[in-house]
Chain A
């Protein structure tokens, strides 16, 4: 507990003593009369008694709501009534006090219902759409809409495009190269998934992108290391043609099929007609569906380290260091960051994606207000063409990020801080890194600012950060074999 919290307001000792006895139903008749006299003669005393009664009622509600979880209001009402009735009766005066407590409880019940609902509501994550693809090439391409993408445009998850004329090639960050032939309407659902509404797409998938899926209204076509094409019409006809390698075709449930999925190899095709409920094998039409995939190597994900990923609370995160900060009880100099349990106002940890890290676990009592700590992480771009790299961090920080440096150079950043009372920390802010990247190891530093606890401005309070990376680029092409003349 912060020292300031332990300093009670000055209250006359006898009055406080009587109030303490009253709230635990330990007042004798004479003490009850004494309390009533004190209250009748002093407005401040009356206010204090009221606050104590309110607190007592509040504590009953809070604690029981905490222990019983999402209790419905219908359950909460009778429960509260029970909780404010003392266990034993000692006098008529106590009965009057019980009535008061009951009234206070009734007045506050709606408020507590609202409060307990908000207290127990899981804090939802607010993530920003992640970049997942890049327009690599276009040939006489016309797009629906005024501002069609130009070569180099980066698509984020969920983007839809309608190619009305020409061809276009999109590089997916998972390692798939996808050629669209007009008219073609696709949604880039995720790095490894394209939803084909209408048209023809041809995909070539790198080894590291295995599992890439093209979905239509009739089937999912899952790559198993291959080059394949998928066609879909607005009339519900879909075809998958395997040009090389293998795919797994999963007809959707609205199509008659005896199998949940089937394997197609090079030269094979599969056709599904939703209306007629027909699913048949065909021979692949290479002449119609093959496409030129360009000379550039496919994009490849960069190995990055989200904070706390896969670790347990209390573990040091070997990929994240706190390289600088204000020395205090919790921080004595450079150290590994520690995975911490999510504080009550934090987005819950997710071991599979990212977790909060701080100077210590638990995150409270924390570090002095108005201080700054530098969290440092690295990633390796060895083997990547740095000029093709896209890397972005989604960041939540308590209380904010003041600066980000890449290899020691500050990048352009709209710094932020969140320091309201009862502030939630659940919204990821995107930090795009475009400058100062270099081949090999790259170091990124986040200066995390710790604000003020609005309840105890002088007391230490938590500092923590949570980062989820998204990065991809094109691998360097191997130089042509040199010819050695003897």
Chain B
């Protein structure tokens, strides 16, 4: 874990700024349903299970959706940063 901290500390601030901007753009490209799920899960203290109940889905299904969304966001951010570097 210390290596992770070291890695983080060594990351140049410009890189973090670029990543943040990229996230902002990528979130806007999510389908509305995914964006709403992100808002529900990250925008409050509500437990995933309660959110899943409200959506009529299982907690596992919501976790799976979140994993898919995170991977999509990571891929999109990566592309955006690569594109910018070119």
Residues of A within 8 A of B (CB): 1-2, 4-9, 11, 16, 20, 23-24, 26, 36, 39-40, 46-47, 49-56, 58-60, 62-64, 66-67, 82-83, 87, 96-97, 99-100, 103-104, 107-108, 111-112, 115, 119, 344, 364, 421-422, 453-457, 459
Contact = CB atoms under 8 A, between A and B. Distances in A.
Q: Which of A16, A66, A87 has the most CB of B within 10 A?
A: A66
A9 B5 contact: no
27 contacts: A1-B34, A4-B79, A5-B26, A9-B71, A9-B74, A24-B48, A39-B3, A39-B4, A46-B7, A52-B74, A55-B70, A58-B20, A62-B42, A63-B42, A67-B43, A87-B47, A97-B1, A100-B5, A111-B13, A111-B20, A112-B20, A364-B29, A454-B25, A454-B84, A455-B26, A455-B79, A457-B83
A56 B41 CA distance: 11
A455 B22 contact: yes
Given A99-B1, A103-B5, A456-B79, 20 more contacts: A5-B72, A7-B75, A8-B74, A23-B70, A39-B3, A50-B4, A50-B7, A55-B73, A58-B20, A59-B38, A64-B43, A82-B45, A83-B42, A107-B16, A108-B20, A115-B20, A119-B24, A422-B21, A422-B25, A455-B83
A48 to B, nearest CB: 8
Given A24-B48, A421-B25, A9 B7 contact: no
Nearest to A1: B31
B77 A55 contact: yes
* Interchain residue pairs A-B with the least CB separation, the first 6: A8-B71, A63-B42, A63-B43, A67-B43, A20-B67, A8-B75
A357 B56 CA distance: 37
Interface residues of B, number: 48
Contacts of A20: 63, 66-67, 70
Majority-rule SS of B interface residues = helix
Contacts of A9: 71, 74-75, 78
B28 A5 contact: no
Interface in B17-40: 17, 19-31, 34, 38-39
A24 B47 CA distance: 11
